[in-house]
Structures are given as structure tokens and as C-alpha cells.
Amino acid sequence: MLLFPRSSQCVQHQGVPEESGPQEAVLGGTQGSREANFTRGRLLVLTGPSGVGKGTIVSQLRQRHPDLYLSVSVTTRPPRPNEQEGVNYYFRSREEFLELIAAGELLEWAQYAGNFYGTPREAVLQKLNQGQDVLLEIELSGARQVSQHCPEAIRIFLSPPSFQELERRIRARGQDSEASIERRLQQAQKELEAQDEFDYVIVNDDLEQALLQLETLLYPNS
Ligand code: ADP
Ligand code: 5GP
């Protein structure tokens, strides 16, 4: 059963924008027929400030729903000690990232806290066309690009119980430099102000509760 009707298709991106991600998204092209759309997977977007718990909640959701495909992004950020190439991210140089943009290989992209991040288009398209649900865990600008051109996407914002708790979590994670933490917290203010743009807002106070809310939203029959 389709829970969310697909009202439109994303359009093909042409050209390279200068400062932020694609002005026109890169998903779908013109190949989707009505039938193809009906069997396509759902495009799910999860956004929220750094440190709110997106990675934690997504990893638990995927343990319960292994069919959910988590898009692996490309980034120019250096790997954290526990991160693996091709698992957490594709780690690329700035030059390589710009080439990906120029080649139209990114569904969306953005600059965040001094680095580039982007979603490889092909893998997402392939999984959607195979009928698999695809989850993008991306920041606000990328989410806006996706929603502008892929209105069928289901957009969820994960919010912290308070700004103080968000800061506590980023620091407790112990993975970012002080400068990066400062930039992330500044960005968090803007992201929190934009949460009403999303289809759903889930507050990640108690982790189990938040996970249950997300699961109920995405898999109401399970
Ligand atoms: P994000 O992916 O949004 O940047 P993480 O998943 O890395 O955030 O979580 C940041 C930190 O907060 C981690 O140390 C994680 O264990 C912790 N955390 C996540 N959710 C909760 C929660 N509900 N309560 C307390 N700590 C949490
Ligand atoms: P981090 O450096 O903590 O892994 O990620 C920083 C931010 O970039 C997070 O908000 C994360 O969701 C976002 N992000 C990760 N991958 C992408 C991507 O492909 N596109 C966009 N726009 N944001 C991303």
C-alpha cells in the first residue's frame, strides 16, 4: 500500500550553480511513467542540527528495517576516527567534489561548517526505481533543494529537547574541534528556526520514544 501519493516528479538538473546546491534537483528525470512511479520507493529526508541524534536514531531504525537504504554522501570533511570510506561517507578532496557537481552527479549539495556535502544521485535513483525506500540524512539547505524539486519527498525534522542539551550532546560526542562545534551550534540556530518547513517534527528527548515515533510514522503497519 502506498502511504504517500506521488503528485509530481523531480526534474533533471542542468548546469552548475555557484554557491549552494542545484537550483533544479537531479532526481528522476523524465523516465518515470505512472506505473514506474507507483512501484517506486519513498524518498525520505531526515534533517536536524548536528548532535541532535540523527545518526544514532537512523542506525537503530535500520537495524529494525534493514531494507531501508541510507544514502552514503560525499564530503570534503576529513574522516572521524571511527568512520569508514564508503560506509559513513565517500571522503573526497574539494577538487573532486567540484568535479562531481560539474558532472551533475549530485542530487543536492551544500556547504556546511566549512566543508562540502552532497548526495550521489545515481544510487538514490537506482534504489527508488527498484522500489526501495531511500533515506537522506542531510542538512537544511540540501533538504530545501530536495523539497523544492521533489515535493513527493517526506521531510522529517529531528529536534533537540533544548539548545543546551544539543550543545551537551555535541560536546559529549567528542568528535569535533572547538571551531567546528561553534560553527555547528551557529548553524543549529538557523536550522531550528526552519523546522516548521518540514512535514513532521520529532523531538529526540528520550531516544526510544523518538525512535518509536519515527518508526510509527514510516511503518505504521509494523
Ligand atoms: P547527529 O548524527 O545528529 O550529529 P549523533 O547521532 O552523533 O548526532 O548523536 C550525538 C550524540 O548524542 C551521541 O553521543 C549520541 O549518543 C547522543 N544522543 C543521541 N540521542 C540521544 C538522546 N535521545 N539522549 C541522549 N543522548 C543522545
Ligand atoms: P557531519 O559532519 O556531522 O557528518 O555532518 C554535518 C551535517 O551535514 C549534518 O547535518 C548532516 O546531516 C549533513 N549532511 C551529511 N551528508 C549530507 C549531504 O549529502 N548533503 C547535505 N546537504 N547535507 C549532508
For the segment 57-96, what is each residue's pLDDT rounded down to a tens digit? 999 999 999 999 999 999 999 999 999 999 999 999 999 9
Distance 137 CA to ligand 2 centre (A): 7
**Is there a domain that residue 8 lies in?**
no
The minimum-distance atom of ligand 2 relative to the CA of 74 is: 19
Tell me if 119 is assigned to some domain. Answer: yes
Q: Is residue 214 part of a domain?
A: yes
Tell me, yes or no, whether 150 lies in a domain.
yes
The protein residue whose alpha carbon is closest to atom 14 in ligand 2 is 138
| Residue 155's CATH number | 3.40.50.300
Distance from Cα 35 to the centre of ligand 2, integer Å: 33
Q: Would you say 45 and 138 are in contact if contact means Cβ atoms under 8 Å apart?
A: yes
Bridge pairing between strands 73-75 and 89-91:
parallel
The verdict on residue 64 lying in a domain is yes
Q: Which atom of ligand 2 is nearest to the CA of 118?
A: 19
200 inside domain: yes
For the CA of 59, the nearest atom of ligand 1: 6
The count of structural domains within the chain is: 1
Closest among 35, 205, 66 to 135, alpha carbons compared? 66
Where is mean pLDDT largest: 2-6, 7-11, 50-54? Answer: 50-54
pLDDT at 179: 94
Is 179 within a domain? Answer: yes
**What CA–CA distance (Å, rounded) separates 150 from 199?**
13
- The pLDDT tens digits for 10-48 are 543 333 334 455 433 334 333 333 344 457 999 999 999
pTM: 0.88
Which residue segment(s) compose the domain that 208 sits in? 34-218
Residue 115 inside a domain? The answer is: yes
Ligand 1 contact via 22 beta carbon (within 6 Å): no
Angstrom distance (rounded) from CA 41 to CA 204: 26
Averaged confidence pLDDT in the chain? 87
